[in-house]
Amino acid sequence: MALIGAALTGCSNSLTDSDEKQAEEAPASSAAQEDEKESTPASGEASTSQNEDIVLSNGMIEVGNPESVEVVVNKQRKLPEGYTPPDLTVPDVPFSFEEDHPKKQLRQEAADALEELFERSDQEGMDLVAASGYRSYERQEAIYERNVEVYGKEETDTFSASPGTSEHQTGLAMDVTSAEMAFKLTQAFGDTPEGEWLADHAYEYGFIIRYPEGDNNITGYKYEPWHLRYVGKEAAAEVHEQQVTLEEFFGYEPVGEAE
């Protein structure tokens, strides 16, 4: 599968590109769409290290298991200060841009799984490309602040993670898209053959659609059919079978409505 030319939309390294979280094109409700609290795990089995979560003075939770593939990061649960995931690597899959960039990276286990997923999707006639994976705290900070300038904080918080709370910083998340979408990240991707295929098969490779449709009151973010999160095959299969969010699976409280 060949790389997509760098001249395509979203290819530059600048912060004005459309590949950077979470619906960075524009809020999902815009015209662009048309083209922590600790609690006892319920449905899923949280890892023992989650008992080491730290309650901060501002009420946020600092996760105690940032390197676990089952780590839950959201508006209530943040990564430790200065956290950089181990074993970052570039998966051998087609991207929507050619140049070297940290956003091509995933942790090794997730990268291996993504390669298997892409190989299967290609065999079944899908045309997936990867768009944005790992993001450092500093890059997420710049993206979030830019979005606040453009959309205001209230709207930004429905689609863009504040620094330290982005799944992309874990190295376990990858945004994907397709040529049919002009390599953009919009909710319409969910209605494409590629989006439907991912919804049906991503779990077989250890990925879930992290922000499902209609669950923004639980996850805190609007529907993102392009956002794949690696949690391992066992957990992904259970999440898919139960049709729940990661918050529900591990028994964490809902984050709150994203209008």
Exposed, middle or buried: residue 93 (CB in 10 Å: 0-12, 13-18, 19+)? buried
Q: Are residues 167 and 73 in contact, defined by beta-carbon separation less than 8 angstroms?
A: yes
Instruction: Kindly list the distances between the CA atom of residue 103 and the CA atoms of 41, 130, 132, 162, in Å, as whole numbers in the listed order.
Output: 31, 10, 5, 17
Residues 6+ apart with CB under 8 A from 26: 32, 33
Q: Which residues are catalytic?
A: 224
Closest CA to 172 of 53, 240, 249, 91: 91
